Structure 1
Amino acid sequence: MADVVVTPGERERDQGQLTYRRVLGALDRLRRASDADTAYRLAFQVVYLQCKFGAGERGVSGTGKWWWNDATPRPRSVGEVLSAVWSRTHLAREYRLPAYRDEGVSRPFAQTEAALEELVTEVGRLESAEYLLDVLLDVYSTRYARGGDYFTPDTVSYLFAGLAAPRAGEMVRDPACGSGRLLRAAAFRAQKQGAELRLSGADIRPLARYAAAVNLALHGFRIDLAGDGTDTLREGIPQERADVIITNPPVNMRDWGHGELRGDSRWDLGVPRPGNANFAWIQHVLADLTPHGRAVILLSSGAAHSSSSSDGLIRQRLLEHGLVAGIVDLPSWPFPHTRTSTALWLLAKGARPNGDRVLFADAGKLSMWRDGARRGFDAAQAERLFRIFRAWQEEQIPEGEDAQGSVPWCRAVSLEEIVRAGFDLRPARYLQPRSNVTLNSGTDSRIRKRQLYEAMDRSSAAWRRVRVVLEGRHE
């Protein structure tokens, strides 16, 4: 079975719900004793310290030896030790990540001590905590995701990195970095090619910024991370422009500062409409790119065809200026927390021969593998998609199996055809209907299975949300 590798050993990590069930149980009890964000920040600290300093060494109660050394008298609480040790780490100092005693939570710390000690003990018992952070990020998104407030799945991060194709020495930025998975995927992809990137990110949510700092550091990548609570749209453009921007901003964001930012210089293609930040994000990204920069940004599918006059005008100007290189429709299964359909927009600045055409693709038609609850894009098919878009960006003509006509889920469309369609940028409008395409043997069966799996996953996600609500009422 084909696989998709975003981080080394991902398959082992994805058995995490079972492997780390005792840790997740302890985390649930810590969450009930405090609150979700506090519990997860503490868990991030424990995982980082265990991975960096506790592996292979067992101390008091089976925990990592980093808690205290033999010459130090036993402290009064695990919380005190965690605060002291965490505060001394380079990571906490560099990014000003608060320790346990600095959290400022509303409940007394005494209520969380027993649950925190249990969490520390369970993490300390693990043979390896290498993949635990990713499991925590996935569990948090499954339980607490709301609309655009979630951590981007690894499968989608893989697409971002492949389509962006970062090169050695480039500045790669995510202005809504969440847990840092997009930047991590880009850094891993460059690393496989023997290249290093400069990474930059920001996020308005303190928990997301915390997760990003820990995530990148655990995998050996350094990131230039903006301060806590950075509202990228309101803050404006950083001093240094980015060569590549990859970002998954909040979908259809309502309160983005339309009133105070109405006269902002970034809106040279048109003032974005109030109540929806889609085209504010697009223009922010373009303003933040170098003169020949490129970007991959995830937006709701509504941005491609909304009837708003301001949206339509901005879409028209984007096309007339040759700024849209391609659009890739995404399937729904990577996002079980929402029914909003999404697409990846590939933007490019600077003159290019393909500026009068847009390359459309449908990632939902790529082959998919499944292993229990885990699934992802077939690696060979995804890499084929990346090759086609890389050739498009580099002004080459795809040949052989990647040539137009042999790829039913991908097509280049002229600006004239898009104009006739009213500047509608939905890939489905331009791609060949499935009935007119000769598919490989077994494809129809895979499509039917995929649709069935997606329906089952939506039902399962709805049940999980109901369960969370019911559990909350009994606490």
Structure 2
Amino acid sequence: MVKNIGGKDFFEMLWQSAVKLRGALEPGEYKHPVLGLLFLKYVSDSFVEMQENLKQWTADPNNEDYYEEDEEDRLAIINDRDEYNAENVFWVPENARWEHVAKQAKDTNIAKILDEAMGEIEKANPKVKGLLYRGFSLLKLPPAKFGELIELFSKIGFNSKDHKAADVLGQAYEYFLGKFALAEGKGAGAFYTVDSIVKVLVEIVAPHKGQLYEPAIGSAGMVVWSEKFMESHGGQRGDISVYGQEYTHTTWKLAAMNLIIRGIDFDLGESNGDTLLNDLHKDLRADYCMANPPFNQDDWGAEKVRGDVRWKYGEPSNGNANYAWIQHMIHHLNDKGKAGIVMANGAMTSNNNNEDVIRAGIVEDDLVECMVALPPKLFINTQIPSCLFFLNKNKKHKGKTLFIDARHLGRLETAAQRVFDEVDIQKIAETYHAWAETGETDKAYECIPGFCKAVDKADIAAQGYNLSPGRYVGAAEVEEDEAEFEEEMALLTEALTGQIVKSVKLDVEIKASLKEVGYDV
């Protein structure tokens, strides 16, 4: 069995298993069988572990809750589905368990066997009906490819004694989403949210009890971390009601599976949908809202929602959806609601008339409680400079906004990847809470030149409603034109990379087509 389940080497090994399918399938295709097999291994291991526990408990005279002297009564408990449901463990029929599948790994019909196993799990667990991957037979892969993956996954043991298996599975989903997005060559709209950013968002928004809404939910990583935060602060599962929406059908299913596995109740709508054009939760007014929407989304269909009730501060531009997302989330907050939003830096300083008017309106309405400038290289999939907006409809410090410049925090884990350690996350979060939850004369908070400063709304207006922390904290300021240049270059570089990938793919397709008609290029 693989040791250090959930460690960096573990996830890299999983990724290498997916890479085994490269060449035979496109990245957008091979993520489904890999994640499907990962889920199958997880539910099977969890079921077998629970079954073994019940066998031990029912045979132990010292276990007053489970001990049964009569063998028939013992078997009744061991095979009682309610016992498994109570521990949030899927019931896995015998012919769907990993041991059964692994024994047939070299069978020429292994793809069909896998599809049937997934079907059996859906029948036994109605809550996942229609969510599981059942397309192994459609891939037309050599059986040996499936055999290799099954053999590799057999080395993984999801044992709750060593780790919280559901957490590892959820982390694997998150890891794969980022890796697959890179492999598919998608742009800024395809990235997922790394732990460094998720933890800062959750620590500041601090969801304790009420309704949590995530309009670009991805694989539900923010919700999962919010649940952990709530429980670590004395809350109980069920204190938070989860609502969300996701554009991509496959990612929507991943989110649903991630939440089901962890026993979190949710409403993601009946299916996937475009949040900006087809709001599935029109009547929702949430206590908390968090999102990492696509950066600088252009040509998003603004003309289809002209005059929408969400656009209180102005019509968002079709050339950039940043302020459509921001206004959408403001609309869905209740009178005391808080929101944390990941945004491209351009949203703080844009020179677009529509955005300038909207931003001014939001500031004048005293909704912007805190702005955090982030360092580069936090995201795996994009180099676009980013920031965090924190909005609050019930600010303690009326007429003021806290600016935090965190661009110099974190460390380079690799040449291309920066991460926040726990000390960095706590420095940002504690600075916010020391200011947001104390009075003007309390000594818990103090402005630190180059890092943080509380600013009056009138001073922000005097700066043209510029929300860049570097403009106010007094040091380490990046000039506005330099920031705009960096973002524009990042956008152009990503666009060029995408065009190059498409060009190479088209070149291969053209050569193949010419070869079919007798021209070997």
Structure 1 residue aligned with 2:290: 246
- Residues 398/87 of structure 1: CA separation in 2 closer, same or farther (3 Å cut): farther
- Residues 10/181 of structure 1: CA separation in 2 closer, same or farther (3 Å cut): farther
- Give the TM-score normalised by the residue count of structure 1: 0.78
Equivalent residue letter for 1:174: E
**Match status 1:432 vs 2:474:** yes
SS in 1 for 2:20: helix
User: What is the correspondence of 1:53-132 to structure 2 with a 5 Å cutoff?
Assistant: 53-54=44-45, 65-66=97-98, 68=100, 77-89=109-121, 93-94=126-127, 96-101=129-134, 108-111=138-141, 113-128=143-158, 130=168, 132=172
Any conservation in 1 of the 2:36–2:133 contact (CA below 8 Å)?
Answer: no
User: What is the correspondence of 1:205-224 to structure 2 with a 5 Å cutoff?
Assistant: 205-224=248-267
How far apart, CA to CA, are the structure 1 residues paired with 2:415 and 2:244?
A: 34
- Give the TM-score normalised by the residue count of structure 2: 0.72
How far apart, CA to CA, are the structure 2 residues paired with 1:258 and 1:221?
A: 34
How far apart, CA to CA, are the structure 2 residues paired with 1:275 and 1:142?
A: 24
**Match status 1:203 vs 2:246:** yes
How far apart, CA to CA, are the structure 2 residues paired with 1:329 and 1:432?
A: 14
Deviation of 1:276 after TM superposition, in Å, equals 0.9
Q: Give aligned pairs, total.
A: 428
How far apart, CA to CA, are the structure 2 residues paired with 1:112 and 1:146?
A: 32
Structure 2 residue aligned with 1:43: 34
**Match status 1:181 vs 2:221:** yes
Pairwise CA RMSD: 3.7
SS in 1 for 2:350: coil
- Residues 17/473 of structure 1: CA separation in 2 closer, same or farther (3 Å cut): farther
SS in 1 for 2:188: coil
- Residues 473/404 of structure 1: CA separation in 2 closer, same or farther (3 Å cut): farther
- Residues 37/67 of structure 1: CA separation in 2 closer, same or farther (3 Å cut): farther
SS in 1 for 2:337: strand
Structure 1 residue aligned with 2:360: 316
Of residues 306-315 and 426-435 in structure 1, the stretch that sits farther from structure 2 once superposed is: 426-435
Any conservation in 1 of the 2:316–2:324 contact (CA below 8 Å)?
Answer: yes
How far apart, CA to CA, are the structure 1 residues paired with 2:34 and 2:436?
A: 42
Among residues 187, 194, 200, which one is paired with 1:159 in the alignment? Answer: 200
SS in 1 for 2:447: coil
Equivalent residue letter for 2:264: F
Query: Which whole-Å deviations, capped at 9, do the CAs of 1:358-408 have from their partners, x for residues lacking one?
Result: 1111222335374898752232332132123234443545955x5223464
**Match status 1:361 vs 2:404:** yes
SS in 1 for 2:389: strand
- Residues 374/367 of structure 1: CA separation in 2 closer, same or farther (3 Å cut): closer
Deviation of 1:279 after TM superposition, in Å, equals 0.9
Deviation of 1:249 after TM superposition, in Å, equals 0.5
Among residues 306, 322, 325, which one is paired with 2:369 in the alignment? Answer: 325
**Match status 1:142 vs 2:182:** yes
Structure 2 residue aligned with 1:443: none
Deviation of 1:211 after TM superposition, in Å, equals 2.5
User: What is the correspondence of 1:281-360 to structure 2 with a 5 Å cutoff?
Assistant: 281-350=325-394, 352-360=395-403
How far apart, CA to CA, are the structure 2 residues paired with 1:227 and 1:112?
A: 35
Larger radius of gyration: 2
Unaligned ranges ≥5, structure 1: 1-8, 436-458
Equivalent residue letter for 1:433: A
Query: Which whole-Å deviations, capped at 9, do the CAs of 1:309-334 have from their partners, x for residues lacking one?
Result: 11111111101111111111111111
Any conservation in 1 of the 2:435–2:445 contact (CA below 8 Å)?
Answer: no
Structure 1 residue aligned with 2:43: 52
Counting aligned pairs with the same residue, the percent is: 24
How far apart, CA to CA, are the structure 2 residues paired with 1:410 and 1:251?
A: 25
Structure 1 residue aligned with 2:65: none
How far apart, CA to CA, are the structure 2 residues paired with 1:80 and 1:286?
A: 48
Any conservation in 1 of the 2:447–2:454 contact (CA below 8 Å)?
Answer: no
